[in-house]
Amino acid sequence: MSVRSLRSRLVDAPDSWGARRREARARWLGEAFPDLANMSVIDLGGRLDTWLRAPVRPKHVHVVNLEPMSGDLPEWADLDYGDACGLPAHIARRRYDLVFSNSVLEHVGGHERRLRFAESVHSLADAHWVQTPYRFFPVEPHWLAPGMQFLPTAGRAWLAQRWPLAHSPARDRLDATRSVLWTELLDRTQLRFYFPDSTIRSERFLGMTKSLIACRASNA
């Protein structure tokens, strides 16, 4: 088995372990918000594919992302280019039933921007579901490298340039350094600071916390 096919079997393929974990998380979302099918949802930093394959699709989904996306939009979705840490006025003044974000908070760029991200979440809806990988899970989830998150920046950049299970190997050292500096995993104390009124849920694997979810229902 090649290294690339190993990564695919682990996290990327539709029948991979990672895909099964995402499906389980989607079911958990539906259980946390039983009226999801009737809700308007803003997805900060997400992709439309998440909702195309979701077991329960909200009544309306508004995806906001800094990465350009193309393709035909279904009638139940909107797509906007925008920074979740400083939303354009035409988005910031809207209200939704639920703010959703999956594996984005660790990429926004430091404490100050995480505060702004949390402010966006709190201002857009009373309810939210914000997931982020847990810093102390032994395998760094973006590169699938054991303990990588605990290395100094130079060590992480070196590994990012060479580790065979990376999703997209870095082109050079500058690209590798840029990638690791834009990836900062959070612990439970940090997430609770940004979302003090939320329930902090743990997604577990083999008894260990793999990711954290700040969840708040509108009637909480």
Residue indicated by tokens 């190993």:
6
Beta carbons within 10 angstroms of residue 19's beta carbon: 15
Predicted confidence (pLDDT) per residue in 82-129, tens digit: 999 999 999 999 999 999 999 999 999 999 999 999 999 999 999 999
Per-residue pLDDT tens over the stretch 164-207: 888 778 889 999 999 999 999 999 999 999 999 999 999 999 99
Position 216 pLDDT exceeds 90: yes
- Residue position matching structure tokens 């402010």: 119
Query: What are the residue boundaries of the structural domains of the chain, listed by start?
Result: 3-142+184-216, 149-182
Q: What is the CA radius of gyration of the chain?
A: 17
Specify the pLDDT at position 64: 97
pLDDT band at 9 (very low <50, low <70, confident <90, very high): low
Strands (DSSP E) found in 60-178: 60-65, 77-81, 98-102, 127-133, 139-140, 145-146
Burial of 119 (0-12, 13-18, 19+ CB in 10 A): middle
Q: What is the structure's pLDDT at 7?
A: 55
Strand pairing report for 127-133 and 98-102: parallel
CA distance linking residue 172 with residue 163, whole number of Å: 13
**3-142+184-216, CATH topology level:** Rossmann fold (3.40.50)
- The per-residue pLDDT for 5 is 62
| 183 neighbors 170 (Cβ within 8 angstroms) | no
pTM (predicted TM-score): 0.90
Averaged pLDDT of the chain: 91
pLDDT tens digits, 121-153 = 999 999 999 999 999 999 999 999 999 999 999
Check residues 7 and 202 and name the one with the higher pLDDT: 202
Residue 127 DSSP SS3: strand
pLDDT band at residue 68 using 50, 70 and 90 as cut-offs: confident
The structure tokens listed for 124 are 């857009």
Length of the chain: 220
Percentage of residues in the chain having pLDDT higher than 70: 90
168 CB-near residues (< 8 Å, 6+ apart): none
pLDDT of 3 > 80? The answer is no
Dihedral (CA of 132, 70, 42, 44) sign? positive
pLDDT of residue 6: 61
